[in-house]
Amino acid sequence: MNLRKYLVLVLVMLFGGTGDVLLKFGMQQRGAIRFSHLVPDLFGALGNPWVVIGILCLIAFFASYLTALSWADLSYVLPATALGYVLVALLSKYLLHENVSAFRWAGVLLISCGVGWVTRGPALTEPQPQGSQHEGQTLRSPQEQHELA
């Protein structure tokens, strides 16, 4: 994988984590949304600049996520970008002043280890050769066909 592809994965991680934290920060300032006033409260939240910046970050996240999915498997991209959970935990603790328990830190550590394992494999699985599948079924070797008959 080249440097540009790593950069896209880092952008997915940064934009996603930052966008989520900014949404939370803005909603802390805005206050709770009441179901009895759902629509006006939701539109009122859009008046908070932190919510708007968070939404813009999440739009950038989505664009970079689509870019990553265009050249790599979902089973590679999603875990590889899960390091954003580390960023969210850090920002939640130091910016939002949330209590991040030892169990949550252990979960973040476990996710980070999983990311390391997943990223050691190929980013894209090899495509199946043309003609190896017939109407959604895998063709069997002649020996397998004989054993089944």
Q: Is residue 145 part of a domain?
A: no
**Six-digit token string for 144:** 């397998």
Q: Is residue 131 part of a domain?
A: no
**Six-digit token string for 75:** 């089973």
Q: Is residue 135 part of a domain?
A: no
**Six-digit token string for 52:** 């708007």
Domain residue limits at 34: 3-123
Each residue's pLDDT, cut to its tens digit, for the chain (149 residues) gives 688 888 999 999 999 999 999 999 999 988 888 888 888 888 888 999 999 999 999 999 999 999 999 988 888 888 878 888 889 999 999 999 999 999 999 998 998 888 778 777 677 777 666 655 555 555 555 555 444 44
Domain count, the chain: 1
Q: Is residue 134 part of a domain?
A: no
Q: Is residue 146 part of a domain?
A: no
Is the dihedral angle over the CA atoms 68, 70, 76, 79 positive or is it negative?
A: positive
Please tell me what DSSP assigns to residue 139: P
Q: Is residue 10 part of a domain?
A: yes
